[in-house]
Copies of this chain bind each other. A is one copy, B any other.
């Protein structure tokens, strides 16, 4: 299906027509797209400006290698060294790039298929701090934190992918940072993961590790279970040279690419929200075109992520209503292009998992999901506008994500759900539906029950006490003290530890390590 045929319809495939793996009202890949912040003509106008920016304004700082490839493919370099992307080339890439593909987990049962507005929740971010679980104070994040976050997320049912969310600051070189990030993520979960690479050396260094985990030389490429978080641009309209080098190497290695443009409206993108979306689309499309020039079979994800500045201070505001609009509009642009997409949501400005964190995460994830983002990054765990992560927040947010996914599932309209006889029998009979066969049948298929969110009566609550954060902390403790994944064989781990500088002590990765 081409974009021209698809555009502007914005309708989902009804989720009830998809197969649910179990009798549950929620599952990975429910179809969003019932919230449409932009009209069809508005989508066209934003796209038109994006094309104009690509063709007429172009990008500075292209790398020599990508310049050669791009010029060979039809781009041109102007006298100021800016690379321009002709409209026909961009349109052509949009038309022929992959519209749907799997992001693999080490466990194939956890693969997710992205595209066609199928919504998946996941982690993301590059927080430099974590809220220490014991002290409650923020401190620099470490490899061990990343490992703990990842194996925690491995057990959270409504988080479908686990992209790196904190920076391992206890590493000493960029290579060590990148390798130890991969190691912590892949040891922690069999869900699809993603990391970023500082430069092309990191990519080349990682390939043997990834192949070894995959089962041998060239095996990773067959089922690439580790995506690249690639910020290929420094907005506005400038390429990031090291990231572009890394991108080139990664695409050649068959890695899926999350192509991110992360401008801040009012600072590195226009303050006018529509302009910020257009610039982000142009920047993201530039990355997609380059990926496709390197490899027409590449797996590239449209991640136009315009962020918001509080214009009084210049500081990022991840929790603002404007941020939710930007993400939802960008998701709709991805739907317009019919491309697999990622949007950031769940980024609260609060430093604590409090009411503000709840409502900012609540409305932002809801709007991104209903706008049909394929992947919602940052949907769990993050605080302080992505500056920090908190273990208990992952657990709390998982509860929220379940409920939001339930809303994405929508309302089943069918002969059974609109059964006149059911209502008549109850009204003329017992007068209530409590014991009716339909009620019993629908209990599990229409209703999702939370794990820790409080539904007690006021009286039970007053008697029983207990705080939601305490319940979340208990779940963190239980998972982290029990769940030490062992999907990477001992000999593979030994080989990795022999060939790379692995910071995480082996004993930290086993039960009874005295930490949990």
A residues apposed to B, CB below 8 Å: 11, 34-39, 42, 45-46, 49, 52-53, 56-57, 129, 137-138, 236-238, 265-275, 277-279, 308, 310-315, 317, 319-322, 324-325, 328-329, 349-363, 365-367, 370, 384-385, 387-388, 396, 399-400, 402-407, 410-414, 416-420, 422-424, 426-428, 431-434, 436, 438-439, 442-443, 446-449, 453-458, 461-462, 467-469
B427 in contact with A458 (CB, 8 Å)? no
Q: A432–B361 Cα gap in the complex (Å)?
A: 29
B360 in contact with A363 (CB, 8 Å)? no
14 A-B contacts (beta carbon < 8 Å) = A37-B410, A53-B420, A57-B423, A236-B431, A268-B432, A272-B418, A311-B442, A312-B449, A319-B455, A320-B447, A354-B469, A355-B357, A358-B359, A362-B363
Known contacts A271-B436, A362-B359, A411-B37; A453 and B349 CB within 8 A of each other: yes
Q: Which 6 A-B pairs have the closest CB atoms?
A: A358-B358, A362-B362, A321-B406, A272-B417, A359-B362, A321-B403
- Among B274, B412, B439, the residue within 8 A (CB) of A414 is B274
Chain B residue nearest to A446 in the complex (CB)? B273
B436 in contact with A384 (CB, 8 Å)? no
A269 in contact with B360 (CB, 8 Å)? no
User: Which residues of chain B have C-beta atoms less than 8 A from A416's C-beta?
Assistant: 272
**Taking the nearest CB of chain B, how far is it from the CB of A183, in angstroms?**
27
User: Which residues of chain B have C-beta atoms less than 8 A from A34's C-beta?
Assistant: 35-37
User: Which residues of chain B have C-beta atoms less than 8 A from A271's C-beta?
Assistant: 433, 436, 438-439, 442-443, 446-447
Known contacts A57-B424, A325-B407, A438-B272; A384 and B314 CB within 8 A of each other: no
**Taking the nearest CB of chain B, how far is it from the CB of A378, in angstroms?**
15
Chain B residue nearest to A426 in the complex (CB)? B236
Chain B residue nearest to A346 in the complex (CB)? B359
**Taking the nearest CB of chain B, how far is it from the CB of A345, in angstroms?**
11
Which of A325, A418, A454 has most B Cβ within 10 Å? A418
Q: A268–B432 Cα gap in the complex (Å)?
A: 5
B45 in contact with A418 (CB, 8 Å)? yes
Q: A34-B35, A236-B431 are in contact. List 5 more A-B contacts (CB 8 A).
A: A38-B411, A236-B427, A273-B446, A324-B403, A363-B404
B411 in contact with A325 (CB, 8 Å)? yes
B367 in contact with A57 (CB, 8 Å)? no
Chain B residue nearest to A313 in the complex (CB)? B455
**Taking the nearest CB of chain B, how far is it from the CB of A154, in angstroms?**
22
**Taking the nearest CB of chain B, how far is it from the CB of A405, in angstroms?**
8
Q: A277–B417 Cα gap in the complex (Å)?
A: 10
**Taking the nearest CB of chain B, how far is it from the CB of A308, in angstroms?**
8
**Taking the nearest CB of chain B, how far is it from the CB of A309, in angstroms?**
8
**Taking the nearest CB of chain B, how far is it from the CB of A358, in angstroms?**
2
Q: A363–B447 Cα gap in the complex (Å)?
A: 17
B36 in contact with A272 (CB, 8 Å)? no
Q: A442–B266 Cα gap in the complex (Å)?
A: 9
**Taking the nearest CB of chain B, how far is it from the CB of A59, in angstroms?**
9
Q: A424–B275 Cα gap in the complex (Å)?
A: 12
User: Which residues of chain B have C-beta atoms less than 8 A from A442's C-beta?
Assistant: 266, 271-272, 311
- Among B413, B431, B468, the residue within 8 A (CB) of A354 is B468
**Taking the nearest CB of chain B, how far is it from the CB of A236, in angstroms?**
5
B267 in contact with A433 (CB, 8 Å)? yes
A322 in contact with B446 (CB, 8 Å)? yes
- Among B321, B366, B402, B418, the residue within 8 A (CB) of A448 is B321
B358 in contact with A423 (CB, 8 Å)? no
Q: A424–B411 Cα gap in the complex (Å)?
A: 46
**Taking the nearest CB of chain B, how far is it from the CB of A478, in angstroms?**
19
A448 in contact with B322 (CB, 8 Å)? yes
Q: A29–B67 Cα gap in the complex (Å)?
A: 52
A355 in contact with B468 (CB, 8 Å)? yes
**Taking the nearest CB of chain B, how far is it from the CB of A18, in angstroms?**
16
User: Which residues of chain B have C-beta atoms less than 8 A from A396's C-beta?
Assistant: 355-356
B38 in contact with A454 (CB, 8 Å)? no
Chain B residue nearest to A349 in the complex (CB)? B455
